Amino acid sequence: MSFATLASRPLATKLVVVLLLLLLFNLATVALLLRPSSDATRCDNSILRAELLEAKRQLATGLAAGAAAGGGAGGMNASSDAAKLQLAAQFLDLSQVTRIFASDFPPPSPPETQPRIFVAMAGHLRTQGKNLGNFASFVKAMRAQGAQVYLAEYTWHLLDDPYRDTWWKENSATYVADQTRIHGTPVSIFENEIEPALKALQVPYLAVVGDQEMVRGAFASERYRSWVGVHRALLMLSQLPNIGALNPGESDIVMSSRPDILYEKGFLVQPLLDFLKRNPMTVFVTSHFSDLAVTGAHLNDPSELTWITSFQAYSEIIRAGQVYGTGRCSPQPGLHEWQTVLFYCAPVSIRYMSPEWTVYAHRLHGELAPFPNHGSFDFELGPIARKPVDIVATHVCKKPFFGVRHVPIRPTDQNGQELTTVKQRSDDGIQEVTLPPLAEQVWRSPNQDDNDDKPYCPFLKLKDEKYYSAEGLFSHGQMV
């Protein structure tokens, strides 16, 4: 059937054809990935990956052309349909894409020097629809300082995780089913509540809804799958219609967050910008404690709920999380994956924010859990406090990263003596070749203020005392 013929068909017929095309693509993808091993001997992995990418491109091109001939679905015009289909193809290696939400309006025309804050939300949608007033007040607090806010989001088609019980939801499957009946599905909430609010705020956004039951690719921690997704969404913002040149710069501020987070206060933008320009590989994190004497010592510190950094450091943290579980970023005794990434794998310095910067996890059943925990659960869902926090001037302690020293190891003989020559086989037979000199390599952090007078954070108070020194001054490569 040609696209011209499709255009004359009823809407139901058009939708059936589109669904059939999607089904055929999924079957083709499965067949490609399940080729027999003999096929793999004829072409390497790079060729297979190229074929998969080409199949995705053809899917996006074909469906976009069909939309142009037969009319877009859901009130979207053909050009936006094509753009969203092309964007969706960029996330299929993480999971099947359920829906793409993307702004179709140009952002305000700021001066080139205007600070930019990218809010990167990752994880289940949960209460984001109930937190819109709070988010709006945060955006206004940032704009009052001359900054513009952008939103990138990677969430799931399920409202919360029904497969993992926690201390606050013991029967997850029943809990999620009940809360979905009350609040709706993530797609309906985003479509009917979140997207209209973002349009009213004129906050440029790109949100990807992945299918939690159709994930692709292996991740040692599922948290990092959604973090990789939101990092990619942040980069893809610049490809949206009417956005223009929006490539994130190294000095842009990124606030990693979750859809269910409420903010008690905003932060001062200019002091943070100035600090990150001098110290681009620095991440500001939160503790589980409000007691300044033990900030950074909780066995789960730092919290992963929210952290603030430069785009440069943000990208390095996401890269480290993507390879977590491999030799380069292996799990460490006594540490969970977030601690391992920050303390071992990412080349970043860590600064713990004071309890003045407090966020709240807003549960679907209405409970508010503050981080750092200071025992207060009476925070209302309204606007944030008027006075923003200077997170640079008030931060509590540091775990700096000065750089990495790599000393190559020279081979030795059977007696343990270092070798200066080795025998090597070549086309001319076996020859004795001289080993080149082995030079020590040093990578120094670009941070300029890691030797300031801010005190070092305490070691983690781990349950098993033998792991007390599993992180800290020496393990993080600081002794360059």
- Per the CB < 8 A criterion, the answer to whether 335 and 304 are in contact is no
- Phi/psi region, residue 83 (left: phi>0; alpha: psi -120 to 50; beta: rest), is alpha
Position 200 confidence tier, pLDDT thresholds 50, 70, 90: very high
CA separation for the pair 186, 31 (Å, rounded) = 31
Q: Does the structure show a pLDDT above 80 at 471?
A: no
Q: Does the structure show a pLDDT above 60 at 106?
A: yes
Q: Does the structure show a pLDDT above 60 at 64?
A: no
CA separation for the pair 350, 471 (Å, rounded) = 12
pLDDT of residue 100: 92
Position 112 confidence tier, pLDDT thresholds 50, 70, 90: low
Task: Please state, in angstroms and as integers, the Cα–Cα distance from residue 357 to each residue in 239, 278, 289, 373, 457, following that order.
Answer: 33, 22, 12, 11, 18
More confident residue, 459 or 144: 144
Q: Does the structure show a pLDDT above 80 at 245?
A: no
Nearest in space to 60 (alpha carbons), one of 76, 80, 31, 30:
80
Which strand (E) or helix (H) includes residue 257?
A: strand 253-257
> 3-class SS at 333?
coil
pTM: 0.79
Joined together, the tokens standing for residue 334 give 């006594």
Average pLDDT over residues 193-210: 95
> 3-class SS at 91?
coil
CA separation for the pair 472, 224 (Å, rounded) = 23
CA separation for the pair 350, 477 (Å, rounded) = 13
Pairing verdict, β 282-286 and 349-352? parallel
Average pLDDT over residues 306-314: 96
With residues binned 3-state (H G I as helix, E B as strand, rest as coil), the percentages for the chain, rounded to 5, are 35, 20, 40
Choice among 18-32, 156-170, 262-276 with the minimum mean pLDDT: 18-32
Q: Does the structure show a pLDDT above 80 at 412?
A: yes
Does the domain at 100-399 match CATH 2.60.40? Answer given as no
DSSP state of 260: T
pLDDT of residue 43: 32
- Per the CB < 8 A criterion, the answer to whether 88 and 100 are in contact is yes
User: CA neighbours within 13 Å on the CB side: how many for 142?
Assistant: 23
Nearest in space to 260 (alpha carbons), one of 156, 171, 353:
156
The total number of residues shown for the chain amounts to 480
Q: Which of 29-43, 92-106, 326-340 holds the top average pLDDT?
A: 92-106
Nearest in space to 101 (alpha carbons), one of 152, 158, 136:
152
Q: Which of 258-262, 378-382, 468-472 holds the top average pLDDT?
A: 258-262
Position 232 confidence tier, pLDDT thresholds 50, 70, 90: very high
DSSP assignment string, 366-412: S-EEEESB-S-----SSPPEEEEE-TTTT--EEE---EEEE-PPPPB
Q: Could you tell me what percent of the chain has a pLDDT over 70?
A: 74
More confident residue, 223 or 327: 223
Joined together, the tokens standing for residue 167 give 């201390």
Please report, as a single letter, which amino acid is at residue 111: P
- Calculate the average pLDDT of the chain: 80
pLDDT of residue 466: 64
